[in-house]
Amino acid sequence: MHKPTLDYAQQLDKEDNLAHLRAQFHIPKDAEGNDWLYFTGNSLGLQPKQTQQYIQQELDDWAKYGVEGHFEARNPWMPYHEFLTNSMAKIVGAKPLEVVVMNTLTTNLHLLMVSFYQPTKTKYKIVIESDAFPSDRYAVQSQLKFHGFDTEEGLIEWKPREGEELLRIEDLEKIIDEQGDEIALLLIGGVNYYTGQYLDIKRIAEIGHAKNCMVGIDLAHGAGNISPELHNSGVDFAAWCTYKYLNSGPGSLGGLFVHEKHAHNKDLPRFAGWWNHNKETRFNMRQPFDVMAGGEGWQLSNPPILSMAAIRASLDMFEEVGMEALRAKSEKLTGYFEYLINQIDTASIKIITPSNPKERGCQLSIQVKNADKSLHKKLTENNIITDWREPDVIRCAPVPMYNSFEDVFRMVEILKELL
């Protein structure tokens, strides 16, 4: 049984096998030199201290070798993306063949939809969750327009029921049962950015495939947070960013997954570039296009090594710790956070994120009654970094890599005072 005391929180930190990881990150500080209470790893993860060293290595080799760094650098640049593949595959539960680090999230979604959104006159509609992140909505609307369809008719929203905030899987089943013959694609956020709800990805794939719909997952808020087991889920594709829970730096590269069942299908429509051409003959400039198998077959361009170096610095930490240990701490840390918030005697806030740890990651979304953003501003003034999402939610993410049980306790104590 939890206790709402500082001593208890500090005891949990002493018992935490991952507590040492916090010292490996740069924690922002206030004017007096005290650590911020940083709860926005769901927007931008903190910088690992070793990131500078990883990037500096590539700067040094660029200075030392120039163009020969593609082959002579300590970490040769030509195959550099391959250094990230195995670790990234473990994080999302995929085979290395299925994963590649490239581009950014929405760019990757568009490239994947070139291949997996193949509408006909009668089967062309796209399903998204009603409160999907705006970039997903804009992306699918533009795909519908590009193919000549009306966005009002072509876009179907999976909505929570009246008076509820969370999605029910049976409501998606009803949509597919009734309209599946007209639906070409489901593009669903695996973890909803607003509520923090972690959806049953495997069940979504089964529902979509039963009506011959393609199924894609946006894992922007999932990669490094939950264990999506993409290969076993059977989804056709997925994409994610790396600057949130994967701590790779602002605007850094994203990743994508294409299921093994599509890996060797060279007839899939796709855009082509130098970097998804057969690497064995890539430098024989006169060869016709020969697409690579697996996720690499969606690359287009020579990748930015400095961004990949930052990703590698973080992935090496994930490789050392493992998602199983991170998820175990995440469930315990978020559970304690939830317990403390529920101890607050007030009707002015409530948690809308699922209380079942298997249906959420480390984010808790706190809904504020009669919200005007003032509570969020007061938290910021007290050096508690959360984020606000219209119309009435403060999102807080106690990240297991660097947040402590004491962080959670202190945050809730200040929140109580402000309320």
In a domain, 199, yes or no: yes
Give CA–CA dist 279/273, Å, rounded. Answer: 12
In a domain, 63, yes or no: yes
393-396 and 387-389 strand pairing: antiparallel
Residues 96, 20 share a domain = no
* Domain final residue pick, 275, 297, 319: 319
Per DSSP, what are the bridge partners of residue 183? 125
Residues 396, 302 share a domain = no
* Domain final residue pick, 319, 352, 367: 319
Q: What is the CATH number of the domain that holds 342?
A: 3.90.1150.10
Neighbour-count burial of 339, counting CB atoms closer than 10 A to its CB (0-12 exposed, 13-18 middle, 19+ buried): middle
| Whether 100 contacts 256, CB under 8 Å | yes
pLDDT of the residue at 31: 87
- CA–chain centroid gap for 18, Å, is 22
In a domain, 1, yes or no: no
Q: pLDDT tens digits, the chain, 419 residues: what are they? A: 899 999 999 999 999 999 999 999 999 999 889 999 999 999 999 999 999 999 999 999 999 999 999 999 999 999 999 999 999 999 999 999 999 999 999 999 999 999 999 999 999 999 999 999 999 999 999 999 999 999 999 999 999 999 999 999 999 999 999 999 999 999 999 999 999 999 999 999 999 999 999 999 999 999 999 999 999 999 999 999 999 999 999 999 999 999 999 999 999 999 999 888 888 888 777 788 889 899 999 999 999 999 999 999 999 999 999 999 999 999 999 999 999 999 998 888 999 999 999 999 999 999 998 888 899 999 999 999 999 998 999 999 999 999 999 999 999 999 999 98
Residues 247, 108 share a domain = yes
In a domain, 91, yes or no: yes
Residues 85, 24 share a domain = no
pLDDT of the residue at 289: 85
pLDDT of the residue at 1: 85
In a domain, 120, yes or no: yes
Q: What residues have CB less than 8 Å from 232, skipping those under 6 apart?
A: 93, 202
Residues 219, 198 share a domain = yes
Residues 142, 35 share a domain = no
* Token pair belonging to 21: 């990881």
Asked if the peptide bond before residue 76 counts as cis, ω within 30 degrees of 0, the response is no
Q: What is the CATH number of the domain that holds 246?
A: 3.40.640.10
Sign of CA dihedral 10, 382, 403, 400: positive
* Token pair belonging to 345: 């005697």
**What is the total count of domains within the chain?**
2
Residues 364, 332 share a domain = yes
Neighbour-count burial of 43, counting CB atoms closer than 10 A to its CB (0-12 exposed, 13-18 middle, 19+ buried): middle
* Token pair belonging to 4: 């709402």
Residues 181, 264 share a domain = yes
Residues 230, 297 share a domain = yes
Residues 295, 151 share a domain = yes
Residues 378, 334 share a domain = yes
Q: If you count DSSP H runs as helices and E runs as strands, how many of each does the chain have, helices first? A: 14, 13
364-368 and 393-396 strand pairing: antiparallel
Q: Which domain holds residue 30?
A: 6-46+323-418
In a domain, 34, yes or no: yes
Residues 27, 11 share a domain = yes
pTM of the shown model: 0.95
In a domain, 140, yes or no: yes
In a domain, 359, yes or no: yes
| Whether 239 contacts 208, CB under 8 Å | no
Angle at 214 between CA 209 and CA 215, to 5 degrees: 85
3-state SS assignment for residue 367: strand
* Token pair belonging to 99: 């994963």
* Token pair belonging to 158: 């999976």
* Domain final residue pick, 319, 353, 368: 319
